[in-house]
């Protein structure tokens, strides 16, 4: 999906919500465990109940890799289901990859060609030649970690390098990479006070913002400085939506939670 198509979907749905599909078999309703593929059954129900309220889904691959080959098959079925039934939905593989160039190309092929995700998250630590192989894929986005939502973000990301904080160095330097128009960045909702500075460096880039809901981040605080001319935000909530109930009504309860965020977004966009 192109950036323009994503923006059009956001405007059509009045929503920049991304729902995280982080499926933990210990947290899903017990009746689903009798299904042949409980992870896919859970995802399908959540997607069918919420697709009209969000523009994106973000499975974190850790939650699938943890279940071995079966988990990977559930991930494959989930992305195929989304691409076949809801082609207007933007998809993010939260895999946080990145390696020497030829290995990065293989990661990119896995997520962009084999699984057909629209985007994948990558870590910037190995630098330009580890990220550019992802950027070479047309109409695909590479979402690079800039300032993450966890406490450990302060261990390195806010430390000074070349006279400025490392996350700023990552943002500024990556703007000069080949095909950098295919870059988006991860910025945690728990770091709302940093958005003003971030927007000075990347005024129009899309930012994937995890940390609303279970991690305590606040939508209004992020939007104050995070919104760009073309909206430029994808706000993710995973546990806060998908685990709203452990009973048979789990999908409709998830939809209620998603609708609360979507309505807040509608109000912000119409201000």
Ligand X SMILES: O=c1ccn([C@@H]2O[C@H](COP(=O)(O)O)[C@@H](O)[C@H]2O)c(=O)[nH]1
Catalytic residue numbers, as ranges: 96
Cβ contacts of 35 within 8 Å, gap of 6 or more: 41
C-alpha distances in Å from residue 238, one per residue of 12, 217, 259:
23, 12, 14
- Measured N-to-C along each axis, helices 166-174 and 128-135 cross at an angle, to the nearest 10 degrees, of 50
Buried b (16+ CB within 10 A) or exposed e, 139-173: ebbbbbbbbbbeeebeeebeeeeeeebbbbbbbee
User: Quick one: which segment of 67-75, 128-136, 238-246, 247-255 binds ligand X (CB under 6 A)?
Assistant: 238-246
Look-up of token digits 């997607």: 47
Query: In terms of CB distance, is 74 or 238 closer to ligand X?
Result: 238
How many residues in the shown chain lie near ligand X by CB under 6 A? 19
Tokens representing 117 are: 């995700």
With binding defined as CB under 6 A, does residue 98 bind ligand X? no
Residue 12: how many other CB atoms lie within 10 Å: 10
Q: How far is the first Cα of the chain from the last one, in angstroms, to the nearest whole number? A: 28
Provide the minimum distance between the beta carbon of 22 and ligand X in the complex, in angstroms, as a whole number.
5
With binding defined as CB under 6 A, does residue 25 bind ligand X? no
Provide the minimum distance between the beta carbon of 257 and ligand X in the complex, in angstroms, as a whole number.
11
Provide the minimum distance between the beta carbon of 156 and ligand X in the complex, in angstroms, as a whole number.
13
Per-residue x/- marks for ligand X, 132-171, CB under 6 A? ----------------xxx---------------------
For ligand X, the nearest residue by Cβ is 148
Provide the minimum distance between the beta carbon of 157 and ligand X in the complex, in angstroms, as a whole number.
10
With binding defined as CB under 6 A, does residue 210 bind ligand X? yes
With binding defined as CB under 6 A, does residue 20 bind ligand X? yes
**Measured distance CA(190)–CA(239) in Å, rounded:** 15
Query: In terms of CB distance, is 27 or 164 closer to ligand X?
Result: 27
Tokens representing 30 are: 């017990």
User: Quick one: which segment of 98-106, 125-133, 206-214, 250-258 binds ligand X (CB under 6 A)?
Assistant: 206-214
Query: In terms of CB distance, is 60 or 182 closer to ligand X?
Result: 60
With binding defined as CB under 6 A, does residue 240 bind ligand X? yes
**Measured distance CA(25)–CA(33) in Å, rounded:** 8
User: Would the CA dihedral through 50, 56, 60, 64 be positive or negative?
Assistant: positive
Provide the minimum distance between the beta carbon of 39 and ligand X in the complex, in angstroms, as a whole number.
15
- When binding is defined by CB under 6 A, the residue of 10, 16, 22, 38 that contacts ligand X is 22
C-alpha distances in Å from residue 177, one per residue of 129, 144, 148, 212:
9, 13, 21, 30
Footprint on this chain of ligand X (rule: CB under 6 A)? 20, 22, 60, 94, 148-150, 186, 188, 210-211, 213-215, 236-240
């Amino acid at each position: 999906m192109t950036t323009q198509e994503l923006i059009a979907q956001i405007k059509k749905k009045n929503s920049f919500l991304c729902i995280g599909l982080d499926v933990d078999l210990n947290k899903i309703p017990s009746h689903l465990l009798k299904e042949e593929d409980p992870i896919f059954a859970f995802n399908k129900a959540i997607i069918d109940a919420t697709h009209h309220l969000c523009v994106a889904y973000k499975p974190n691959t850790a939650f699938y890799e943890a279940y071995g080959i079966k988990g990977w098959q559930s991930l494959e079925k989930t992305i195929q289901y989304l691409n076949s039934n809801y082609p207007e939905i933007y998809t993010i593989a939260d895999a946080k990859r990145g390696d020497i160039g030829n290995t990065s190309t293989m990661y990119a092929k896995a997520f962009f060609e084999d699984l057909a995700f629209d985007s994948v998250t990558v870590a910037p630590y190995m630098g330009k030649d580890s990220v550019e192989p992802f950027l070479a894929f047309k109409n695909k986005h590479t979402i690079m970690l800039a300032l993450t939502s966890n406490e450990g973000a302060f261990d390195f990301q806010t430390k000074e390098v070349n006279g400025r904080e490392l996350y700023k160095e990552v943002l500024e330097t990556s703007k000069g990479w080949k095909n950098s128009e295919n870059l988006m960045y991860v910025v945690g909702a728990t770091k709302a006070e940093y958005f003003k500075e971030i927007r000075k460096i990347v005024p129009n880039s899309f930012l994937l913002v995890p940390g609303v809901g279970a991690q305590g981040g606040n939508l209004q605080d992020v939007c104050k400085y995070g919104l760009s001319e073309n909206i430029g935000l994808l706000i993710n909530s995973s546990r806060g939506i998908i685990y709203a109930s452990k009973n048979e009504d789990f999908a409709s309860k998830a939809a209620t939670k998603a609708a609360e965020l979507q309505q807040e977004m509608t109000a912000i966009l119409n201000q």
